[in-house]
Amino acid sequence: MLPSQLYRLPSLQHLDVSHNLISSLNNEIKNLRVLQYVNVEGNQLEGLPVGILSLSLSELRLGGNYTHPVLWTLNSVNSPPSLLHTAAHALALIQPEQRYSTLPPAARLVLSRASVCECCGGPWFGPGLKLIRPIYGLFGLSSVPILFLSCSASCYSRFRKQSHPLTQPLHTG
């Protein structure tokens, strides 16, 4: 993993972290708005984070990673969410935020740590469920595997079944 300070360099234009045994990139890569060139060749990446979709890269080098479509199913194997994360997700969906004050402090702490689901935009607790989807024609490549994290089993299932516009091959001409 790269140091978190890297994602706070607003003027970074060129990132070459090739051949470093990196297994993931942080979604905070989206903060590197002027980034033009990324070389992550020869690492152990399964896919790129959703945050990369916010960038306007002129070149992306991705070869030599674990990103081949044959590996997508294997790399999307998930453990079931913990009972705590499942309960927090259910509670966040039924309990309006303004009523959190009636909950015990430990429950409020868990609920305060919610992230936003990359698939449905709802509340997300815990590590999430991984799903790799290709984005066609991104950064001049035929397809780029993007690693989405969903908030729940039902969200994962819906997202997996939907025909997302970004996952359709781009037709030219």
The pLDDT tens digits for 5-26 are 999 999 999 999 999 999 999 9
> Do 85 and 32 sit in the same domain of this protein?
no
Strands 129-136 and 115-116, by their bridges, are: unpaired
pLDDT tens digits, 92-142? 888 666 677 788 888 889 998 999 999 999 999 999 999 999 999 899 899
Same structural domain, 91 and 121: yes
Give residue 40's domain range. Answer: 1-67
Q: What is the pTM of this model?
A: 0.82
Tokens of 169: 């091959």
Q: Which residues contact 74 (CB under 8 A, 6 or more apart)?
A: none
- Rounded to whole angstroms, the Cα distance separating 43 from 110 reads 34
- Range of lowest pLDDT (55-64, 132-141, 155-164): 155-164
Using 50, 70 and 90 to split pLDDT, how confident is the model at 171? very low
* Listed residues 38, 67, 96: the one ending a domain: 67
Indicate whether 105 and 162 sit together in one domain: yes
E-strand stretches of the chain: 14-16, 37-39, 48-49, 59-61, 115-116, 123-124, 129-136, 143-150
Number of domains in the chain: 2
Unique residue bearing structure tokens 């690492």: 43
Residues 78, 51 share a domain? no
- Whether the pLDDT of residue 29 is over 90: the answer is yes
Do residues 54 and 111 share a domain?
Answer: no
Q: Say how many C-beta atoms besides its own lie within 10 A of residue 158's C-beta.
A: 13
3-state secondary structure of 146: strand
Residues 63 and 73 in one domain: no
